[in-house]
Amino acid sequence: MTGQTQKNQTIWLDEDYPDGVRIIDQRVLPFTYSEITIDSVESMAESILTMAVRGAGCIGVSAGFGMYLAALEARSLTPAKAEEHLNASADKLLATRPTATNLSWAVAMQLKALSGIEDENQRIQKAREIAVGISDDDVSSCRRIGEIGVKLIRDLHTEYGRKINILTHCNAGWLAFVKHGSATAPIYAAQKAGIPIHVVVGESRPRNQGALTAWELNGAGVEHTYLVDSAVGHIIQNGEVDIVFVGADRVSMNGDVANKIGTYLRALAAREGDVPFYVNFPSSTLDPYSKNGISDIEIEERPEKEVSHVSSVVEGRNVAARVLPPGSPARNPAFDVTPHQMITGLITERGLCDANPMALAKMFPDYVARAS
């Protein structure tokens, strides 16, 4: 700990750092809290790639701010050169991570808004406005997801008359967005409403984002228990989970959901145990161009070292500790796709939606129009 006052926000503009964007460096969490300044599009791309910022919403907002940094960098260029720099910056940001929709959505929104603006100050002003807008929308969408999701928790509490056990996966908490989180929004809303809850958090190897969720919940005073990923089936089978909330990195128009590797196994166990399984996301995560998640969504394969090593703390130092002996190859698919048939409902800022093509088309007619 650095003695800094810890924020409950992952990314923000700070007038003390006028040429940059401030972020919490999630590479050293949950053991070290550190704020850093990102002052170039290059360094923002690096931050997304190395997961200093991570999680669907936060990646989108970071990409939006990345384009604002690109506009700052284009300040003294000719209009043609400036456009070239914006396009190259967009490509750089898009190349970082392939699975989260929010990334390409935010970059496309900036490119469209900045296209044709020749005055540098106007361009910077616009880029800043769009980036802040994406960030504000992220915050309000997550808040709204919390309001919708907490009703489900309240209903279960009324029905069972006891503490409600909620399972989540990975970190779709505020660290994965700007504030509130998607999967965690109903959890924080339930806590605020005084509904007794207990959250079960899976480790989420290889990068142990479950430890980030545990860190968040511990900080917020929410009762929780941490388990290895393999233990999730057993506790669902044992009746120790009442409802599941997970996030999403990309959602197809048929309701299939790409999310952190292991989500699919949780959905299988929830279905087998008759436990309702909800996927929470701002509608920026919905991909109008993906008709079928299983066949359409590219699954990112990340470096082997995340599997052969574990990020940890030994004698107070952050280290990558080796767990696999040399000589054995590893594979690291970062996401999986849960078929819509296994999902009880999708929660976005627009409301609760059944996970099927017709229900999605009805709630998102603008997305259908965009793709056709």
Q: Which of 249, 256, 287, 336 is catalytic?
A: 249
Considering the complex, state which of residue 2 and residue 328 has its C-beta at the smaller distance from a second copy.
328
Using the rule CB under 8 A, which residue among 127, 211, 246, 363 binds a second copy? 211
Contact range with a second copy by CB under 8 A, out of 2-10, 157-165, 186-194, 215-223: 215-223
The footprint of a second copy on residues 1-20 (CB under 8 A) is none
Q: Are 66 and 45 in contact (CB under 8 A)?
A: yes
Residue 233 in the binding site for a second copy (CB under 8 A)? yes
Residues that bind a second copy (rule: CB under 8 A) add up to a total of 61
Contact 323, 249 (CB under 8 A): no
Residue 299 binds to a second copy (criterion: CB under 8 A): yes
Applying CB under 8 A, does 235 fall inside the site for a second copy? yes
Minimum distance of a second copy from residue 288's CB (angstroms): 24
Minimum Å distance from CB 283 to a second copy?
25
Annotation says 249 is catalytic: yes
For residue 284, which of 124, 143, 135 has the smallest C-alpha distance?
A: 135
Q: Which amino acid is at 293?
A: G
Q: Binding segment for a second copy among 136-144, 177-185, 186-194, 328-336 (CB under 8 A)?
A: 328-336
Q: In angstroms, give the least distance from the CB of 235 to a second copy.
A: 7
Q: Which of 84, 218, 295, 370 binds a second copy (CB under 8 A)?
A: 218
Q: DSSP string covering 132-168, please?
A: HHHHHHHHHHHHHHHHHHHHHHHHHHHHH-SPEEEEE
The answer to the question of residue 265 lying near a second copy (CB under 8 A) is: yes
Asked if residues 277 and 268 have their Cβ atoms less than 8 Å apart, the reply is no
Buried b (16+ CB within 10 A) or exposed e, 81-97: ebbebbeebbebbeebb
CB 114 within 8 A of CB 105: no
Angle at 57 between CA 51 and CA 62, to 5 degrees: 60
164-168/35-38 β-pairing: unpaired
Token match 């233990």: residue? 231
Check binding of 322 to a second copy (CB under 8 A): yes
DSSP-derived pairing of the beta strands 224-227 and 277-280: unpaired
206 cis-preceded (ω within 30 degrees of 0): yes
Residue 277 identity: F
Rounded to the nearest whole angstrom, what is the least distance from the CB of residue 117 to a second copy in the complex? Answer: 43
Q: Is position 365 an interface residue for a second copy (rule: CB under 8 A)?
A: no
Does the CA dihedral 211-271-340-139 come out positive or negative?
negative
Q: Choose, by CB under 8 A, the member of 123, 205, 250, 340 that binds a second copy.
A: 205
Asked if 237 interacts with a second copy (CB under 8 A), we say yes
The residues annotated as belonging to the active site are: 249
| Contact residues: a second copy, CB under 8 A | 30-31, 201-206, 208, 211, 214-215, 217-218, 224-235, 237, 260-262, 264-265, 268-269, 272, 294, 299, 307-314, 319, 321-325, 327-333, 335-337
